[in-house]
Amino acid sequence: MDSRGILLKIKQTLPLLAEQERKVGDYVLRHPHEIVGCSITRLAGACDVSNTTVSRFCRRLGVKGYRPFRIALARDLGSPESLMYIEVRPDDTLASVAQKTFAANIQALRDTQKVLDLSVLENVVETVLQARRVDIYATGGAGIAARELHFKCMQLGLNANAFLDLQMQLMSAASLTADDVGLGISHSGTQRHVAEALRLAGSGGATTIALTSYPGSLVAQAADLVLYTAALGTPTVHDSPSVRSAQLSVVDVIYEAMLMKERELARDKMARVARAISDHTTGSSHGA
């Protein structure tokens, strides 16, 4: 079993599973404590699948059978770092909403740190720093992370853009060359137009980068370099607080790593940006 833990592995494998296997994964994520003492027949019945499907589900996770799966799950649940992702319900108290929201964000950050590949991160940082132009693609809630990365790049004096509109994404991607970077952000990795923009950028020679929660997804497959977040949920939940927290934290890591590598140059560029903003703000206040 790898360092991700079985619950995180289920979450990241879920979109790649067959429909019947996905039923098992969904049920386990909703009722993990129940499964530890549950027989394979009982779990299969609860999911309306066969015992064979449950066994196949376990093998897809890299464990040899249902018993080793339950042991791995019990170990995961017993970890001091294991905070359960519990959905906020309509009848929750305000205190419960706050506790669950903070717990989900904390767990997302811990799990994202576990899946962050430092060698890929270093490659991403070097590639972005050397690029003539960095165009960032996202939709919906991922647009928050896209705009933040755009802002961070501009702080460092990099030529960057964030495109949240489909047509603008395709126009941008079609104009990228081997000197450029196309970077797509999608929690689910199922955003077809983000994946298409990355493929189009890659066909022009640009290096393509993805930030997603799901290995093997459309967006991940379209990229040369992939960084993963790990906000537990479903591929259809794109705007949850934990998803945003994980994405923004990876953006912060990229920024800090770029700042570390180009500290002297970055200091000069950031000072120029700060002066420009200060001069503009001062001038505007005098004009008023």
Fold exhibited by the domain 1-80? Arc Repressor Mutant, subunit A (1.10.10)
Q: Per-residue pLDDT tens for 147-193?
A: 999 999 998 989 999 999 999 999 999 999 999 999 999 998 999 99
Query: pTM, whole model, 2 decimals?
Result: 0.79
Q: Are 237 and 257 in contact (CB under 8 A)?
A: no
Tens digits of per-residue pLDDT, 220-274? Answer: 999 999 999 987 655 555 567 889 999 999 999 999 999 998 776 666 766 777 7
Tokens of 11: 């979450």
Order of strands, sheet of 207-212, starting from the edge strand that comes earlier in the sequence: 160-163, 133-137, 180-185, 207-212, 225-228
CATH 1.10.10.10 in the chain, residue ranges: 1-80
Residue that wins the pLDDT comparison between 232 and 56: 56
Token pair listed for 68: 């080793």
Portions of the chain given CATH number 3.40.50.10490 = 113-272
* Residues 113-272, CATH architecture: 3-Layer(aba) Sandwich (3.40)
Look up tokens 């081997």; give the residue: 178
